[in-house]
């Protein structure tokens, strides 16, 4: 199975900050990488698919980039509703696998 | 509007089985794979497997073979997952969501399964 690693398990930032969350794969995944947001109440939402495509309705302050084995999610101008845990997920090969998550908190 | 309504929380005894459901609406139920994902308390997400509602074909994560059984009822646009021979390791929140080309665009609210004597 492909292992997905989010080395930062928690991150503290101030409102208005630009935040970058990283994710690496144990092998190349050809940009087949998604990002999800999970709110404290458990609600899960898709943010980004195929590395950099913004899902419908997701604010443009969210963006994704990367290639090969290394990917990142950037939130520009952090807002209070962005407090959540963020997960990356690869779909290059079954079984799909997720990163361990990065919990974003307000400083 | 796509909606995925999952069944309510379950408290089950060790060794028992439980079947949870996910009722879909707002899209073509047979047009997308239905996926199931496990989240143990405080842990990350694990993909259990998926089912093709059109023909019932399934694909399981090897880790969950023999643990989870996925089925659908096309007449009611409902997906089911049965978890067998439950242990404390199966206590978790389970999510469903349709797969569109490798990503789950919409997620159910989750079903909490607690395994306890």
Q: Helical H runs in chain B?
A: none
Which chain A residue is nearest to residue B107, measuring alpha carbons?
Answer: A44
User: Residue B100 has what pLDDT?
Assistant: 74
Q: How many contacts (CB atoms, under 8 Å) link A and B? A: 54
- Name residues whose C-beta falls within 8 Å of residue B83's C-beta, 6 or more positions apart in sequence: B17, B18, B19, B20, B67, B68, B90, B94, B113
- pLDDT tens string B54-92: 999 999 999 999 999 999 999 999 999 999 999 999 999
Among all chains, which residue has been given the structure tokens 């643990």?
Answer: B67
- B75 burial (CB, 10 Å; 0-12 / 13-18 / 19+) is exposed
B106–chain A Cβ distance below 8 A for any pair: yes
CB contact under 8 A, A100 and B105: no
- Cα–Cα distance list, A39 to A29, A103, B40 (Å): 27, 10, 15
Query: What is the phi/psi pair of residue A77, to 5°?
Result: 55, 65
B86–chain A Cβ distance below 8 A for any pair: no
Query: What is the phi/psi pair of residue A78, to 5°?
Result: -55, 130
User: Residue B110 has what pLDDT?
Assistant: 98
- The answer on pLDDT for B1 being more than 80 is yes
What's the CA gap between B53 and A70, in Å, rounded? 34
- The answer on pLDDT for B112 being more than 80 is yes
Which chain A residue is nearest to residue B49, measuring alpha carbons?
Answer: A95
- pLDDT tens string B2-50: 999 999 999 999 999 999 999 999 999 999 999 999 999 989 999 999 9
Please give the DSSP secondary-structure letter assigned to residue B27: S
Angle at A86 between CA A22 and CA A16, to 5 degrees: 80
What's the CA gap between A6 and A48, in Å, rounded? 16
What's the CA gap between A85 and A64, in Å, rounded? 16
Q: Please identify every stretch of chain A with a pLDDT value under 70, giving residue numbers as ranges.
A: none
- The answer on pLDDT for B115 being more than 90 is yes
- E-assigned strands of A1-107? 4-5, 10-13, 19-25, 33-38, 44-49, 53-54, 62-67, 70-75, 84-90, 97-98, 102-106
Q: Which of B4, B41, B45, B100 to mutate to test the interface with A (most CBs of A within 10 A)?
A: B45
Whether residue B19 contacts residue B36, with contact meaning beta carbons closer than 8 Å, is answered with no
């Amino acid at each position: 199975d492909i292992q997905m690693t989010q080395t930062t398990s928690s991150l503290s930032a101030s409102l208005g900050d630009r935040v970058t969350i990283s994710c690496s794969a144990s092998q190349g995944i050809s940009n087949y990488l998604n990002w999800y947001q999970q709110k404290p109440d458990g609600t899960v939402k898709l943010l980004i698919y195929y590395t950099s495509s913004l899902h419908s309705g997701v604010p443009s302050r969210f963006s994704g980039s990367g290639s090969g084995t290394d990917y990142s999610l950037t939130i520009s101008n952090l807002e209070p509703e962005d407090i959540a845990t963020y997960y990356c997920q690869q779909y290059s090969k079954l079984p799909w696998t997720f990163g361990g998550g990065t919990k974003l908190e307000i400083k | 509007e796509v909606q995925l309504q999952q069944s309510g929380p379950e408290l089950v005894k060790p060794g028992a089985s439980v079947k949870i459901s996910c009722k879909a609406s707002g899209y073509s139920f047979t047009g997308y794979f239905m996926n199931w994902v496990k989240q143990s308390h405080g842990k990350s997400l694990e993909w259990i497997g998926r089912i093709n509602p059109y023909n019932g074909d399934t694909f399981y994560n090897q880790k969950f073979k023999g643990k989870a059984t996925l089925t659908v009822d096309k007449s009611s646009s409902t997906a089911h997952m049965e978890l067998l021979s439950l242990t404390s390791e199966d206590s978790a929140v389970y999510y469903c969501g349709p797969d569109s080309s490798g990503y789950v665009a919409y997620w159910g609210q989750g079903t909490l399964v607690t395994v306890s004597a």
